[in-house]
Structure 1
Amino acid sequence: MSNDHIRPSSIEGIKQLAKRFKKSDGIQHAVALDKASKAAGFENYKHALRKLAGGLAAPGASPVLYISVSWRDRMTKATGCEILKMPLGKTLDALLKPAQYKASRGLGTMRREGPDHLGDTYTASSQKAAREAACEAARTIQFIEATRLVPSKAKRSFPRGQFQNRMPGSDHDAAWFDPAAKTFIRTNEPYARSSVSPEQHAWAERLGWAVAVSPWKGMYRPDGGTSLFLLADMSKGYLLEQMISRLAEAPAPIVASAWDGESRPIVPAFVSPGQLAEIEAKVPEVKMAGERRGSNNSVAYSMVLSGARRRPKSRMPIEGHKLVGRLLKSILIGTRARAGVHRRVDAIRCELDNWVQCEYKRDELSDDVFFDLYYHELPEEDALAAVPTSWDRHIVNLDEVKATLVRYYPECPPLRQLLKKADLAIRSLRTWNVAPTHTRRVDRSDIHRNRDPDDGGRL
């Protein structure tokens, strides 16, 4: 693959391209870094570090962000993907880290797909819901860029560190951290209120806090009657005037009623320019020695979203995939609060979703069956759809998943990696002392449909 057309937009992208230059041109790493930096539009690597570390875009390019949300209407069976493009003053990675997304209501279900792309891991129930989700995420980014705050879930952000001290009339409140001032502030977005009430004034005076109404309408429902309140601890010396001024100059909140995004089919999956550059920069050079290892129990495969990987050199029966998918879905129920379980199990099903795409063509595996193998929630009548009375059921199910994989796949590194994830999830379950509780069940269809359409498969 030629390196000439790749134009990195981040330090990580420059580093990845430098590795390719080093290998293809036989040059020193420092020389390769400078060459990759020039490809990105900078004078050299030091120049790129100074500019990109400060959150600026590559020369000649204004930062933009794509927000994609897939949707599926259960009644009509219609599907699609809504894509919103918004301008930024800084790159996404300069505004906040992916680990901070989950602390925000508007970004909690979003995942960094690339340096210029946020993708929703939930599948919305309609086109309207998808647009609303994309706009709420966009408004959150607008707020972060204007205020220079980052989302937080710290309990000490409440007055005197106590939840019961929250402001009277609080609704849709959230915590934020100011990296410059090293302190927390809170936001509130109640309905039908555009001024601070006497009760709230008294609360603020009693606790030594400041309350102000923002001229910018907010993140939650700015076109549905909510207002944005800013709250800060005055004993920390924090003043809200500067933040109010920044919000007054911010662009109007992006709302679904003024939608100007793109609507496209759910497949092929949307890949942003920056995301594509990162993928291409990470594609390893093909080695002749690797091509001769035919006796290995694994084979190489490549996906648009995940790049080059390996999978077992065999295929599991469709019924085996159905069983494993059902078990994995059941394990994800009630475990969202336990990242050691939920993330690993989600990674297992994502990988198996890739494998089954490589194992079966469309004439062997229909779309209706394929899309339900590893995604979509279990039917309510399924015995595994309810939250278990204890985590023992999940442990038993994970053991059955492992046994099924070992039964149908040959021993190889890709299989060992999945089994290790399952073992770590089991270990996490055994040390989890929190009792299972009912949680809202959401239809998630994390779209990783990566077959090449030219081959007659899913993307």
Structure 2
Amino acid sequence: MGLDRASSRAGFSNFQHARRSLLAYGTTSVTFRFSTFISVYWRDPKTKVSGNQIIEVSLSKALDDIIPSRNYKHARGLAYFTRSASDLIYCEMTNDSSSAVALACKAARVLQFMAATGLQPSSKAMPVSDGRGSGLPGRDHGSSWFDPESRRYIYVDEPYAAAVKDRQDERADWARRNGWEVARAIWPGMYYPEGGSELYLATDRKKGLPIGPVLSGMSRIQAATVPENCKQVHVPDGEYFRSPGQERDATAKVLKLKQKRPPRATPHTVPFKMVMASGRRPNAKMAVATHQRVGQLLKDVLTATRDRAGVANRIGSVRSELDDWVQMEYDHDALPNDVFFELYYRERVTVPDDERGVAGREVHIERLIEAKELIGSAYPDCEPVRNLVRKLDLAVKSLTSWK
């Protein structure tokens, strides 16, 4: 009876159900089918050396099925990351390559945890329910999670093993007094397993999410991704990494154009609609060679001025718009993928020191002026073109005032 009661509290029907479930999860071989790439850009502020560390992690679910990008901010290991494609996230946070790898691995562990459990991160704090005003003894690096279907919560506590080694009885007593259940997982956790942290699940026995099914899901995770075992992706010097998802997205933008003829046009503009983009564009073509020159000018400025939002954001908007326009101007035969992919989004990896930041202000202003003149001479005067020119003017203004 005691084992059945404990199994029931853990979310199983009885002890035999719990035993069969845990054994099944422990012996079933899971075939991972979805590769997700995690990219971390780094730059040493003293030596000015920079780089990009990329790891690949295999998951049981696709990235967008694990977590919507709007929820990244609630997960400690994903808060600084941005979704770039259906299989790629990136951030620009660290000062050296080893820290970049560690940060990528931490994000991978968070995705491993969510893929296995189906839980979503929450900003909700772990409640302090002890009548004496104290929480779970020794708790550290806590995070909150919920089941999207039941909307019930469970909490993850990830203290260092040494910090709670002699406090297990104290923690168990706290759980008993407050009607909570606390259980340590076999899987080492998300926070810093390579540094000695371990993972505990904590839940309110009456209102919280049962621990048993979550532990069962976690038992399907193989090894936690850490710097010592992660699969690093090495990109040759001078080449730009592009994930399979990015390639698919780019191809989809080219191929999935609107079938019907646009409903109306003005003398100088036509409406357009494509996957993830719509609006009006000039009723003219800019030569591919001119697109190549404008793209190179914009990319050279952007790679050297990422720290200046007033420049980077406006150039990013201009190149995105031109990237859409060129796809409407030329079909696949006239603009094959190997040419198209190079136009606006394959950037240089190394930036000369005399071009980085404020040091390269004058050359960047000259580049933007040339890009503006090329756009103005290739397209008729119309509002879409004037909008691009305004953004380039604002980028020049931001460069001029950069101290």
Query: 2:54 matched to 1:83?
Result: yes
Q: Tell me: CA distance 1:142–1:374, structure 2 relative to 1, closer, same or farther (3 Å).
A: farther
Q: Share of identical aligned residues, percent?
A: 29
Q: Tell me: CA distance 1:325–1:116, structure 2 relative to 1, closer, same or farther (3 Å).
A: closer
Q: Is the 8 A contact 1:81 1:266 kept in 2?
A: no
Give the secondary structure class of the aligned counterpart of 1:105: coil
Query: 2:159 matched to 1:185?
Result: no
Deviation at 1:114, TM superposition (A): 1.4
Unmatched 5+ stretches in structure 2: 1-30, 270-280, 323-341, 361-371, 392-403
What whole-Å deviation, never above 9, does each CA across 1:88-124 have from its counterpart, x for those lacking one?
Answer: 211111111111111111111112221112222x142
Superposition TM-score, scaled by structure 1 size: 0.53
Deviation at 1:271, TM superposition (A): 1.2
Query: 2:113 matched to 1:128?
Result: no
User: Where does residue 337 of structure 1 map in the other structure?
Assistant: none
Question: 2:113, 2:258 → 1: CA distance?
Answer: 44
Q: Tell me: CA distance 1:147–1:347, structure 2 relative to 1, closer, same or farther (3 Å).
A: same
User: Where does residue 92 of structure 1 map in the other structure?
Assistant: 63
Question: 1:64, 1:179 → 2: CA distance?
Answer: 24
Q: Tell me: CA distance 1:99–1:325, structure 2 relative to 1, closer, same or farther (3 Å).
A: closer
What whole-Å deviation, never above 9, does each CA across 1:433-457 have from its counterpart, x for those lacking one?
Answer: xxxxxxxxxxxxxxxxxxxxxxxxx
User: Where does residue 145 of structure 2 map in the other structure?
Assistant: 176
User: Which one has the largest radius of gyration?
Assistant: 2
Query: 2:85 matched to 1:114?
Result: yes
Q: Is the 8 A contact 2:187 2:224 kept in 1?
A: yes
Query: 2:232 matched to 1:261?
Result: yes
Root-mean-square deviation over aligned CA pairs: 5.0
Match of 1:217 among 157, 173, 188: 188
Deviation at 1:198, TM superposition (A): 2.9
Match of 1:279 among 230, 236, 250: 250
> Aligned AA for 1:108?
A
Q: Tell me: CA distance 1:159–1:374, structure 2 relative to 1, closer, same or farther (3 Å).
A: farther
Query: 2:353 matched to 1:368?
Result: yes
Superposition TM-score, scaled by structure 2 size: 0.59
What whole-Å deviation, never above 9, does each CA across 1:44-74 have from its counterpart, x for those lacking one?
Answer: xxxxxxxxxxxxxxxx992211112222233
Q: Is the 8 A contact 2:307 2:357 kept in 1?
A: no
Query: 2:204 matched to 1:233?
Result: yes
Question: 1:279, 1:161 → 2: CA distance?
Answer: 54
User: Where does residue 158 of structure 1 map in the other structure?
Assistant: 127
Once the two structures are superposed, the pairs formed by residues 301-312 of structure 1 within 5 Å of their partners are: none
Match of 1:252 among 215, 220, 223: 223
Once the two structures are superposed, the pairs formed by residues 403-442 of structure 1 within 5 Å of their partners are: 412-413=383-384, 416=387
Question: 2:188, 2:32 → 1: CA distance?
Answer: 30
Question: 1:167, 1:124 → 2: CA distance?
Answer: 32
Deviation at 1:328, TM superposition (A): 3.9
Query: 2:114 matched to 1:148?
Result: no
Deviation at 1:371, TM superposition (A): 4.2
User: Where does residue 440 of structure 1 map in the other structure?
Assistant: none
